[in-house]
Amino acid sequence: MKIDVDDHKEYVEKVHEMIDYFDILDSAGVADEEIKMKSLPLSSFRDDKHIPFEEKLIDNLKNYKGTYVRAPKMV
């Protein structure tokens, strides 16, 4: 993907930080670890059902007071 920028110098430090982060992940040595996954038959899952929502979803979400996980703010 190509992104046109006027001044690439402002992004150089951020790119180096990302590369350093991936170097840390690569040095973790988890490539040879076995990933254990539990196999589940399709019959154990519930049937998909469409439940219509008659209210305005955006307005409802703006005023929602229940518990939910909020996404972190991207800088």
Domain boundaries, given as residue ranges, for the chain: 8-69
**Coil, helix or strand for 35?**
coil
Tell me what percent of the residues of the chain surpass a pLDDT of 70. 87
Q: Which residues contact 26 (CB under 8 A, 6 or more apart)?
A: none
Tens-place pLDDT, residues 45-65:
988 899 888 888 888 877 777
Report the distance separating Cα 63 and Cα 30, nearest Å: 43
In 1-75, where does DSSP find H-type helix? 9-26, 57-62
Whether the Cβ atoms of residue 11 and residue 3 lie closer than 8 Å to each other: no
pLDDT at 20 (0 to 100): 92
What is the value of pTM for the model shown?
A: 0.35
Residue 73 pLDDT > 80: no
